[in-house]
Amino acid sequence: MNSHEFQPLSLAEFGISPERGFLPSDPCETLLDCPALNHLGHELPKLLSARQVRRFIDEQPALLPSIPSSWREEDYRTAMRILSFAGHAYVWETPGQPATKLPSQLARPWYDIGQKLGRPPVLSYASYALDNWRRLDNTKPIQLDNIVLLQNFLGGLDEEWFVVVHIQIEQQAGPGLDGLIRAINGAAKGKDDEVLPGLQALASAQTAVRDTLLRMKERCDPYVYYTRVRPYIHGWKNSPSLPNGLIYDKVETYGHQPQQFRGETGAQSSIVPCLDAGLGIHHAPDPLTVYLQEMRAYMPPRHRALIQALESQTDGQGRTPLSGYVRDRRQHHPKLWSAYCACVDLLAQFREIHIGYADSYINRQHQTSMTNPTAVGTGGTPFMTYLQKHLDETKQAIVA
């Protein structure tokens, strides 16, 4: 790829921070002048433990009578977080007996706010993790001993830890994404002195991400996760217990037809797709690649746009500006090649740890209900075989 064809990339144009990656500024805790919605968010864990979510919502004349014209994007994200948790609690409140229809007082604002954010009305990773945290001490950094969730289903240590681990990973990825962009831009300009520190910054961030992921089992027990956390994050596409999907009452766009949306999953995080695209990791088509492409519809639009921008740099041979550059210089600049290999190896390590968790947290658990199957992920797709294939393909990228 000639340098004159290359458009330099910048995280800022996609609203992404070098310090905190895909995390936004500290999210809003509540909404002004929305007492019913704020109350529902605050009381949701207690209502859900008492199995009173459906009754409570059914009795509300309106959760959000109208969307205030003064709302900023962060207000929309706050409302989306509360409505998404409430929507899933409504559907999955009674084990084995999911609701097949959402009442209009929940369905309509959820749909309308999703439209504003460019996402479907279902709980996605953006609402579950990216927009769902606060710092205990605002003078201290975003890290595991200083972040807690703004919204829970049932609450408790295991649910809290499962999500805050993801949030810390998102923050730690920020400097790595910045390094990746620096390396890609440097390769396009033929500047080794930008490529090498960019790759080193990426590897440093990936190491921190890996070490955080390895801490998952410290406070999130696989059995508790499977029985008390996972049941509420399933969606209604490829769902054994909701085969036709879910009706959103009085959402005219849907024509009174049931809708099918995937459940919340870490596959909706933009980190790994960006690393695959930037490092030039090619995955041969399979059911997981189709699924991962579908997951982009659940990401914030600007995050999705960064992945697409990175992928658009690939040439006809599947080489990216970065992967082609370091491969061409393997002989006379071995430091570049080894730095690139370190990044690919760390990505493979991340995938390997994830496969182990998918096995212990889901695959090995004892299925007791069709509403919480072990054979598919919360997104509704079989996973173990294809996760291994994607790991193998990652390793293949640095085979001489």
Task: Please tell me the predicted confidence (pLDDT) of residue 319.
Answer: 80
Distance CA 156, CA 227 (A): 13
Strand intervals (E) in the chain: 101-102, 134-135, 147-148, 247-248
Q: Enumerate residues 6+ apart whose C-beta is below 8 A from 72.
A: none
pTM value? 0.96
Distance between CA 265 and CA 299 in Å, rounded? 11
Residue 316's pLDDT is what?
A: 62
First and final CA of the chain: distance in angstroms? Answer: 21
What is the domain partition of the chain in residue ranges? 9-396
Amino acid at 365: Q
- pLDDT value at position 318? 66
Distance CA 270, CA 272 (A): 6
The pLDDT of residue 6 = 67
Helix (H, G, I), strand (E, B) or coil at 376: strand
Count CB atoms within 10 A of the CB of residue 165. 22
pLDDT tens string for the chain (400 positions)? 444 466 799 999 999 999 999 999 999 999 999 999 999 999 999 999 999 999 999 999 999 999 999 999 999 999 999 999 999 999 999 999 999 999 999 999 999 999 999 999 999 999 999 999 999 999 999 999 999 999 999 999 999 999 999 999 999 999 999 999 999 999 999 999 999 999 999 999 999 999 999 999 999 999 999 999 999 999 999 899 999 999 999 999 999 999 999 999 999 999 999 999 999 999 999 989 999 999 999 999 999 999 999 999 887 666 888 999 999 999 999 999 999 999 999 999 999 999 999 989 998 898 888 889 888 777 776 678 899 999 999 999 998 5
Q: Is residue 240 classed as helix, strand or coil in its secondary structure?
A: coil
Question: Domain 9-396 has what CATH class?
Answer: mainly alpha
- Predicted local distance difference test score (pLDDT) of residue 368: 87
How far, in Å, are 128, 164, 352, 373, 383 from residue 378 at the CA level?
A: 13, 18, 19, 9, 10
Residue 148 · residue 134 · CB < 8 Å: yes
> Which of 113, 135, 138 has its CA nearest to residue 124?
113
